[in-house]
Structure 1
Amino acid sequence: MAAFMHSAPCWVDVQLPDLEAGKRFYGELFGWTFRAGEEVERGGPCVDALSGGKLVAALAAKKDGRMPTAWGIYFATDDIAATVTTIRQAGGQVITEPVRVGSAGVLAQAADPGGAVFGLWQAGDRSGFHKQNEPGSFCWTEVYTRQKDRVDAFYEQVFGFRGTDLGAAGMGEPGMGESGTREPGTGGSGTTEAGTDAPGPAGSGTGEPRTGEPGRGESETPGSETPGSGPVGSGIGGSGADASGVDFRMWSPAGTEPGPDTAIGGRSVITDAFPAEMPSYFLTYFAVADCDATAETGVHLGGRVSVPPFDIPYGRMAVLHDNQGAEFAVLQPPVSR
């Protein structure tokens, strides 16, 4: 089994009030199929999502209605106990202590100093998703915060991220280079050497209520500003503080040359233009073949578009909410020249 690089995004899952409604929405939107997933102790029902037979995500039924309806991101770690200790030392909060998910691996959940929640995954039999940077699969993540200095220092200490301000990085395509979010040894395919039959965490992060996660109401819609001027759209769609007033930093894993070719995610700033009660959060991006068609389909399926499709240096993107309020972004990569 090939493991993900330490600190690389390796899994995403979503907490939903109605699991069957979620399957219908994402099944038609992304063409996903589903199979039963493993439940964490005290967890609710969950299903693995597959794209072209390859594991890409999980959907889980919320056991507690107070839990947010939201997508969650997980970062790979070689030593989850040590990472949890470092999180505390760096000023973060541990929400879910490490818990074993059968033979699949071990998970934990934490929040950074600004309150944004993320997961940790130490692989056992399961490494994570088997497809990324292809239509219907994960391609990017970024955190939105008001405490950029504390948050930058936090992720540099916890994961060893090396930051690059986008305005100083040129116009390379973050996360799409040979050493970006793709797993080492995959030849850029985004799939693991273990093949398509070894599932990832299978919704493992959805078993325990995220009691420490700031709830995000469905009406809280970051990105309602002009694209590139607010939180949403100021990430891979931005061009750095020097060029546009947008403050965005890309993250590259430790041991790599920081820059767009090695970036695995990023950090943007929630400006004063948004309500003070808006919490920090991670936004998950999925690659799609046609951004406009995906946005139209999302609305047809009962979702809504909070940021309509627009062009960025890295393709064409939009921000949507599913039919139960969970927010996510879609990105159509640029046509190869």
Structure 2
Amino acid sequence: MTKRDRYPAGVPCWIDSARPQADKAVAFYSALLGWEMTDQMPPGSTETYFEAKVDGGLVAAIGTWDNGLPEVGWTTYIAVEDADAAAERVRAAGGRVVVEPHDVLDAGRMAMCADPEGVTFAVWQANTHIGAEVVNAAGSWNWSNLVTADIDAAKQFYGAVFPWEFDEMEIGGQRSVTIVVPEYGDYLETINPGVRAQHAEGGAPPRFTDTVAWLEPMDKGGPRWHLTFTVADADDVARRTPELGGEVLVEPFDIPWQRIAVIRDPDGATFTAGEFKPPT
């Protein structure tokens, strides 16, 4: 497994979650996904920031701090070269800056933002902390997809903020749009030579290697950035979730290339658990 060492601008790069109290979530995700979690805040701090590792690489974080958001959930961070300039693009495109750009010690510089639908996300200008080092492996982050009531408006907003291109496709009779960063596949080739050919041979759609997220029609959960964690066994994750204090909102079912379940953690944050199941 190759660890990520950087993220090109426009690529989702990190996820974390702020809670009033972190204890239940730390215990839940550690047991469910096998996370090894360490509080990075100094002794005596009034806040916590538990960074999670899988196979020795950073995957996510959970802690107690004020992120300016009213509800508990997962925040997706998108890599940028300049957080201040990205925040200005958010405003110019009709969004809001919820938390102004600021330095996070020497880790990087960030701003918390909201799109015109009110969906929150963060921009991240990396310094010593590039984001998730392990992705797509069991127990780690796989995707963050934007669930939106207006796909065309979302394309206009996010396309003005980030260097994103969009490819249209239909899945299960519904419109779906992939978010493409053309340089991303080039980076992936440097850490996994031949990955473009592997995707093509597996029947992936054009530019799949450059795809960084999806836009999806809104469901009952409302507009949001919704993330998926890769798991080794979706049925096992769903079975253990209630024992650990969570709730299975959607029982495991099959979609192309995956078996998935939708989970709510003990604090109310939701995510999808996805087991990779290529066609036989």
TM class by smaller structure: 0.7 to 0.9
Name the SS of the counterpart of 1:286 in structure 2: strand
Q: Which amino acid aligns with 1:264?
A: V
Contact 1:96-1:109 within 8 A present in 2 as well: yes
Q: Which amino acid aligns with 1:126?
A: H
Q: Deviations over 1:32-90 (max 9, x none)?
A: 11112248xx9832211111221110001255997311111000011111111111111
The number of residues matched between the two structures is: 255
Name the SS of the counterpart of 2:147 in structure 1: strand
Identity between Structure 1 and Structure 2 (%) = 30
Q: Which amino acid aligns with 2:103?
A: R
Asked whether 1:149 is paired with 2:77, we answer no
- 1:289 alignment partner in structure 2: 232
Query: Distance in 1 between the 2:234 and 2:87 partners?
Result: 37
- 2:203 alignment partner in structure 1: none
Q: Which amino acid aligns with 2:106?
A: S
- 1:249 alignment partner in structure 2: 177
Query: How far is the alpha carbon of 1:335 from its aligned partner?
Result: 4.6
Name the SS of the counterpart of 2:241 in structure 1: helix
Query: Distance in 2 between the 1:316 and 1:163 partners?
Result: 25
Name the SS of the counterpart of 2:208 in structure 1: coil
Q: For 1:51-130, list aligned pairs within 5 A.
A: 51-61=54-64, 63=66, 67-130=70-133
Contact 2:48-2:63 within 8 A present in 1 as well: yes
Asked whether 1:265 is paired with 2:213, we answer yes
* Cα 1:22–1:65 shift into 2, 3 Å: farther
Q: Which runs of 5+ in 1 are unaligned?
A: 168-238
Q: Which of 158, 161, 166 is the equivalent residue of 1:163?
A: 166
Q: Which amino acid aligns with 1:116?
A: V
Q: Which amino acid aligns with 2:266?
A: N
Q: CA RMSD in A?
A: 2.3
Contact 1:43-1:63 within 8 A present in 2 as well: no
* Cα 1:141–1:308 shift into 2, 3 Å: same
- 1:329 alignment partner in structure 2: 272
Name the SS of the counterpart of 2:37 in structure 1: strand
Contact 2:16-2:76 within 8 A present in 1 as well: yes
Going by fraction, where is strand more abundant, 1 or 2?
A: 2
Query: How far is the alpha carbon of 1:247 from its aligned partner?
Result: 2.4
TM-score by length of 2: 0.84
Q: Deviations over 1:181-216 (max 9, x none)?
A: xxxxxxxxxxxxxxxxxxxxxxxxxxxxxxxxxxxx
Contact 1:75-1:119 within 8 A present in 2 as well: yes
Name the SS of the counterpart of 1:57 in structure 2: strand
* Cα 1:281–1:43 shift into 2, 3 Å: farther
Contact 1:47-1:58 within 8 A present in 2 as well: yes
TM-score by length of 1: 0.71
* Cα 1:38–1:80 shift into 2, 3 Å: farther
Q: Which runs of 5+ in 2 are unaligned?
A: 186-205
Name the SS of the counterpart of 2:87 in structure 1: helix
Query: How far is the alpha carbon of 1:23 from its aligned partner?
Result: 1.2
Query: Distance in 1 between the 2:182 and 2:115 partners?
Result: 19
Asked which structure has the greater RCO (Cα within 8 Å, sep 6+), the reply is 1
Query: Distance in 1 between the 2:278 and 2:153 partners?
Result: 37
Query: How far is the alpha carbon of 1:262 from its aligned partner?
Result: 1.9
Name the SS of the counterpart of 1:46 in structure 2: strand
Going by fraction, where is helix more abundant, 1 or 2?
A: 2
